[in-house]
Each structure stands twice: as C-alpha cells, then as structure tokens.
Amino acid sequence: MSKTLPPKPRRLKGGDGALSAAAIASGVRSGEASAEEIVRGRLDAIRKDDPTIKAFLAVFEDGALEAARAVDRKRREGGKLGRLAGVPVALKDNLLVTGTISTCGSRILENYRSPYDATVVGLLKSEDAVIIGKTNLDEFAMGSSTENSSFFPTQNPWAPGHVPGGSSGGSAAAVAAGFAPVSLGSDTGGSIRQPAALCGIVGLKPTYGLVSRYGLVAFASSLDQIGPFSRTVEDSALLLDVIAAKDPRDSTSKAAPRNGGYAEGIETGVKGLRIGLPRQYFEAQGSDPEVVSSVRESIRALEAAGAVVAEASLPHTDYAVSTYYLIAPAEASSNLARFDGVRYGLSEKNAPDLGALYEESRGVGFGAEVKRRIMLGTYALSAGYHDAYYEKANRVRTLIRRDFEEAFKSFDLLAAPTSPVPAFKMGERMKDPLSMYLADILTIPANLAGIPGISVPSGLTSKGLPVGLQLLAPAFAEKTLLRAAFALESMRPFPRLGSRD
C-alpha cells in the first residue's frame, strides 16, 4: 500500500502585486516564498509601470536585493525572522534612511544624503522588512495633490491624468499600483488619509505621539505623524505593531498602550459599537453627492452588522481650515529656517554676502507653495500679529479638540467621508490655493485634536474613481478603529487594480 505524500507548499509568486504584507511575511518565514523573488517581482513592476505612474523619486534596487538575500540566508541558517520578513516597503521621501538622498520633494535638498535612519526605518529593518525606495511628495509635505513636488507630479493609478492626493501621493500610488504591499507616509493635515481615499487603499494616521517622528523632516511639529498605507486593514495593523514604540529621541513620543497587538481581535466585528455621523462633515463645502452617497451606504452596512449609528455634531469644524493654515505655516516657518544654504543641500555660493546667500539659496531652492506658506507663517508670528493670529488659532484649536472630547462621551467612533471629492484632474486646482486647501477640510480637524483616523475604501463613483470612508477614534483607541475598518472591509470588498505578474 503506497503512502500518500503531503502536498508541497504552494510557492508564492514574486510577481503577484496583490500579495499582502502578512501573506509575504508568512510565506518567507515558512519557506513558501523567497524574499529575493518577492522583491525582484516588485522591482520588475516598478521598472515596467512607474515611468507612467511616477510614484518613486528613488528605487534602491541593489540595496533591496541585498537585503532580501540576507533575509533568505537568515532563514536557511535557522535564524528567527521578523514580523515583516521579506516585505517590500516604500517610504515617503521625508523619512531619513542612512546613506540615501532625502529630498523632501525639494530642490533645496536634492543632494542631501542622510547620515542616520529615522526611528521607524530602524524598526522596519529590525523586523526584516526590505526598504525598496523613496516616494514622491508635495515639497516638504505641503500640498494635497503631489503636484507641488519639485521634480514631477505623480499620477493616480486608477485614473492617469488625475491626482493621487497629497502630500503622500507617491506612497499611496505605490501601494495602489502594486509596487509595494505597504508604505509609510506622514499626515500633518490629512496627507495619509486623503491620498488613501483617492487611490482606493487603506491609510492610517495614528494618535499624535504614538509613532516616533525622529528622522522625519519636520513640517509642523505639533501636527506631523507617521503612518502606514496598505491594501488591507490587517496590513496596516501589522505595520502599526512594528512602528508604535516609545522613543527617547522624540520628546513628544508616548509609550504604546500595553494592550498593543493591533491585529489581535480585529475580526470581532462592530456589534454594539456606537458610531456618530458628524453633521458638518456630510455638509462640507463642495462635497460630491456620489461621495456622500457611497459613504452613507457603507455606514448602513456597519449598522446592519450591529453598530449603533446616530447623528453627531462637531460645531467648530468650519474654523478648522483657517486654524490649520495659521498654525501649520507658523511652525513650518520656524522648522524650515534651517535650510539656509549653509548647512544643508543647495547653496548659491556665488552670492556676494551672507544675507544674499540666504536669500538666493532659499529663493532658488524652495517652490512656490513652500514660499507661500513660509510667508504666511512668518507674518502670523511677527510682532504685533502673534496674538491676533497664532495665539487665537491655538485657542480655536482647543475648542476643536473639546468638540471631539464631547462627541466621544456618546460615541466610540465617528464616521464620515475622508475627502469631499474623488480624485480631481491634474492642474484643476493649482491656480487656486484655497480650493486646494479645502481638499483637506475633513481630515484637518483630527490633526488639530491629535486623534487617530483611518481611511478605508467605500466604493467607486460612476466614473470609476475611488471613494474613502474615514473613521475617527479617541486618542490611543487604534484597536477599535482597526476593528471597525476591518469589519467594513469584510462586508464591502473593494475592487483592486490588477496584480502585475
């Protein structure tokens, strides 16, 4: 009688751009997948399609392959592999990686080479992730479309000719296009959640202080936060597990809650969760009816699954954009003063004196939007106007934070559209800064309050453009946020762009 041999493990295809980070890491650890094969597949996809999408400013082909081989060698030698074994990760180019050019999408830093790793980069490497490249962004993360990059705009993979959102548009496009299963971006006023919505993927902004900002080039220090992009909620939870850690090098860093384990219990559903619908978010200026309709349909699905849904109110929402555009530029004016042509990057060395060196280096090195925000911020901080503008904005910020505190006395989560509109056409808003600023009208309040938020795909418009639903939670309630996002993802499966074999 012949023995029945166990089936050989199924080999994961390196060219399958639909593979999740969780599947890749599991496959590499078990030997079903080779890290090198996975990374080669993503590099092939980038080589083939990124000349059109333009998600990347730099691709670390040699370094990524070397890191992948090291992961495979570690497995063969019996070493314990990390939680992100062999997972290709793309990084927004305002995150520092030792020995690589870090431009922040700006000419003033186009030759700046980082001497150290950002804390999140070190944490990724410690879990055997493979850094595959640096992605495009609006210059110094100032923008909502990735058209403000000093190098080139990034296309939306769903609809070339449309923006991917911003400022982390390159990171969002890289995941949506299947170039990497996950990426990191930064969110100062919606720069993770808004591009995630426009590109049909998941984007998570953690609680302010949960993820170290050490090694993130600062835009607005009281607002900036690093977070993941992914195709699945589970992958966002996996990345958050890795990057949420107390860091003594960041004075705003807070210890992760002891219950950690963001993927644990993610599948327990939404029964009994109280979800509020902020009236002001559904009536936002310029809202597309198809966006609102899609989000309401997703909310009905959550309600059918047992969530308790009712209207909520955040009465100071209308002041959020004007408050943000005083606080953020003021902090940017201070943070960007260091780029003076002396210590970092571009320097107009033929200037006749020091004052001219500063003026000419910054004049050539900074783009129009960065200059606009520096001037706004410098004015708001100037003598005679500091109290009238900056201090008043901070008082309104307190009112916005109290709105959320009051709402969360009645609700576990808040739900609303992420962006009032789907991806708009390139160039459509570039000549009207105010209309561009209003693209973040629904995401800015969470940054002002320091609370976590996630954007999850909700559906497609009649023109085939993605719509995102935003969930907001009290500080450090990421587990509840992810649990509800996972439930929605399970009930309303979202079409993905085809895998790129």
Residues acting as catalytic residues: 92, 167, 191
DSSP 180-218: -SEEEEE-SSSTTHHHHHHHTSEEEEPPTTTB--TTBPP
DSSP state of 268: S
Q: Is 394 helix (H, G, I), strand (E, B) or coil?
A: helix
**Omega before residue 167 within 30° of 0, cis:** yes
Rg value, the chain, Cα: 22
Please give the distance of CA 191 from its chain centroid, rounded to a whole number: 6
Please give the distance of CA 214 from its chain centroid, rounded to a whole number: 16
Question: Tokens standing for 470?
Answer: 């935003």
Judge whether 54 and 127 are in contact, CB under 8 Å: no
DSSP state of 316: T
Phi first, then psi: give them for residue 479, nearest 5 degrees: -65, -40
Closest to 96 (Cα-Cα) out of 227, 217, 245: 217
Judge whether 26 and 55 are in contact, CB under 8 Å: no
Instruction: Count other Cβ atoms within 10 Å, centred on residue 43.
Output: 22
- CB-side neighbour CA atoms (13 Å) of 237: 23
DSSP state of 336: G
Residues ≥6 apart with Cβ < 8 Å to 344: 108, 109, 112, 338
Instruction: Count other Cβ atoms within 10 Å, centred on residue 83.
Output: 20
Q: What does DSSP say about strands 308-312 and 274-278: parallel, antiparallel, or unpaired?
A: parallel
